[in-house]
Amino acid sequence: MNKTHCIRSCGLHGFTLIEVVIFIAIASVIFIAIVSLSVSVVQQTQSSKHKLYASRYADELAQWLRVQKDLSWQDFYVASQQGSRNYCVNQHIALDADLVTLLVPYDPDTCVHNGIINGYGPSRFRRTADFDEQTDNTKSVKATITVSWVERGLQVESVQLETLFAPR
């Protein structure tokens, strides 16, 4: 019996070209879906990581401001109420850092998303502190700390922390 005759009579059937093309198309769609899902998960993970760093930077500044307030309420109050009341704090905060040298008036040209100097996260953050003007003579200071970063080169994301400072 020759080979062609056996394939037909023995019940052996091969895949047709159409079946192979359909299989490749279905496999390609599944592969593309898996890859796009993986890319999305990686982007979400990276975004969460940046949000975690930003929260840490905001909390770091809030804690440092609390220490400065406790050291000298008068100096803290004066620094928060005079001048621009909007400060760029992109430098790393050392415990012995002076309030006046750390609070640099906000300037959009110099306060850029380049990272917190000597920080521990990636170089993409900008940290600002805004103090509300006090008009009610309560001798309290409301501060809004904002840490922002550029996510995926397109949109600016931010974490905000608001806190109220008052003398002891």
| Edge-first strand listing for the sheet containing 86-88 | 104-105, 86-88, 125-131, 141-151, 155-165
Strand (E) or helix (H) holding 116 = none
Reported as a single tens digit per residue, the pLDDT across 80-117 is: 887 678 888 888 887 778 777 777 888 888 888 887 87
What is the predicted pLDDT for the residue at 137? 65
The pLDDT tens digits for 139-150 are 788 999 999 998
Question: What pLDDT, on the 0 to 100 scale, is given for residue 130?
Answer: 92
Q: What letter would DSSP give residue 166?
A: -
73 burial via Cβ count (<10 Å: 0-12, 13-18, 19+): middle
CA distance 28 to 68: 60
The pLDDT of residue 147 is 94
Q: How far apart are the first and last CA of the chain?
A: 104
Query: Which residues of the chain fall below pLDDT 70?
Result: 1-14, 83, 135-138
Q: Which of 72, 130, 133, 136 is nearest to 98 (CA)?
A: 72
